[in-house]
Amino acid sequence: MLNKWINKKYLQPEQFKQEFLNNKPYPHLEFKNFLKEEKAMEVLKSLAQEKFIEKEADLFKFMQTNDLGSTKNRVVKEFVQFLYSKEFIDYMQKLTGFKFQNKVDVAGTLYQNTDYLLCHDDELEGRKIAFLFYFSDFEENEGGSLNLFDSKKGKPVKVVKKIVPKFNKLAFFEVSPISFHEVEEVIADKQRIAIGGWFYDK
Amino acid sequence: MINKIYLEKIEEIKKSLNSNPDFPSTQLNNFLVDYSDFKKKVEQLRYKKDVDVLHHKLSKAEINIPELKEWLSKILGKKITHTNFTAHLLEWRDYLIMNDDYEEKPGIDVIFDLTKDWNSKGGGQIIYVDGTGEYYAIPISENSLTIVERKKGVQKFFKYLNNLAKNNKRFFLVLNIF
């Protein structure tokens, strides 16, 4: 299963564990070209057929699919089954050193010009790792980056790390009371497409 | 200073304020007669950037408008002893979101808007929510005074100003009465 989806250079998760744990401002990692190119392309094409619903509140404005666990699309379903698989959950456990439940939340997100998600910590009962598979290429000056904040006395202070969306990049971070992050406003006329979700603490 | 019509129509304004039981409110347009001078004064205040990432990012200043004391006392049916408004200046990427640490007690907000020809797609609206999914967005209208009664559980936020508001400034004053 892992061989079918993941690029060869990432097949030994243990070798990335220390980097993940040591990264500042809190444990996180980004892998460029994580999926096999043809698989990433297939998922992107199929994701475009999913229905995205507008979400808007004080904290955010973007579009999102329903949980992809119930998708009817064959390719998206295969990808979600891969994320749900014992092999991939075990892979993420080795990579992070955490233990996860079999439950994984997965949804597609679409940010367009003026869309944003302001700073928050993602904390919700049991969430342990937040992850994002990017399917769009952005430059830093086009917005849409995942910004990580450092913190002081449990409050976010300033952005110290920017993860710029690139096609076929996987980014993930530990969810904790200080995992403050935002999605910077998209300021270009292009679409930022991703599949993201959470792994849950066992 | 106050438009004569609003000095004379106290009872009508009180009635209008109570016409929406969910979000008691009323907006009075062309509120000030000497508006241009007042606008200059507000724009020239010394604004200071105020940031708490999890709640707000905006600029503030203080301005007292004692001329409103008597009129507001009549409208609200209680003695108003202070009229120290907080002047807000919002620019691209500014916002105020809801946060339990900043929960507002029930009361009355008096809002004076000084923003001209605003593109509503740029954000910046003052929006009241009651926690059940109901909301009330105050129309952005220059030289308008809006009175909103915040019932228990009603909170407000200032919608994030996106890049369509780039190079524009949004000014409004808020007085909280408890």
What pLDDT digit, counting tens, does each position of A172-182 carry? 999 999 999 99
Question: Per-residue pLDDT tens for B65-88?
Answer: 999 999 999 999 999 999 999 999
Among A108, A60, A81, A92, CA closest to A173: A92
Residue A165: per-residue pLDDT: 98
CB contact under 8 A, B54 and A187: no
Question: Per-residue pLDDT tens for A95-147?
Answer: 999 999 998 999 999 999 999 999 999 999 999 999 999 999 999 999 999 99
Could you tell me which residues come within 8 angstroms of residue A9 by beta carbon, excluding any fewer than 6 positions away? none
pLDDT at A92 over 90: yes
CB neighbours (10 Å) of residue B108?
A: 20
Q: How far is CA A32 from CA A29, A35, A163, A167, in A?
A: 10, 9, 11, 8
Q: Does the predicted interface ipTM exceed a cut of 0.90?
A: yes
Using 50, 70 and 90 to split pLDDT, how confident is the model at B20?
Answer: confident
Residue A182: per-residue pLDDT: 98
pLDDT at B144 over 90: yes
Q: Which domains does chain B have, with CATH numbers?
A: 4-177 (2.60.120.620)
Among chain B residues, CA nearest to A154: B54
User: A residues 152-191 near B, CB within 8 Å?
Assistant: 155-157, 180, 185, 187
Using 50, 70 and 90 to split pLDDT, how confident is the model at B17?
Answer: very high
CA atoms within 13 A on the CB side of B155: 18
Using 50, 70 and 90 to split pLDDT, how confident is the model at B37?
Answer: very high
Residue A2: per-residue pLDDT: 93
CB B72 within 8 A of CB B80: yes
CB neighbours (10 Å) of residue A58?
A: 20
Give me the total of CB pairs closer than 8 Å, taking one residue from chain A and one from chain B. 37
- Closest-CA distance, A47 to chain B, in angstroms, reads 27
Q: How far apart are CA B16 and CA A142, in angstroms?
A: 46
Among A37, A39, A38, A19, CA closest to A29: A19
Could you tell me which residues come within 8 angstroms of residue A56 by beta carbon, excluding any fewer than 6 positions away? none
Residue A95: per-residue pLDDT: 97
For residue A156, which residues of chain B lie inside 8 Å, CB to CB? Answer: 53-54
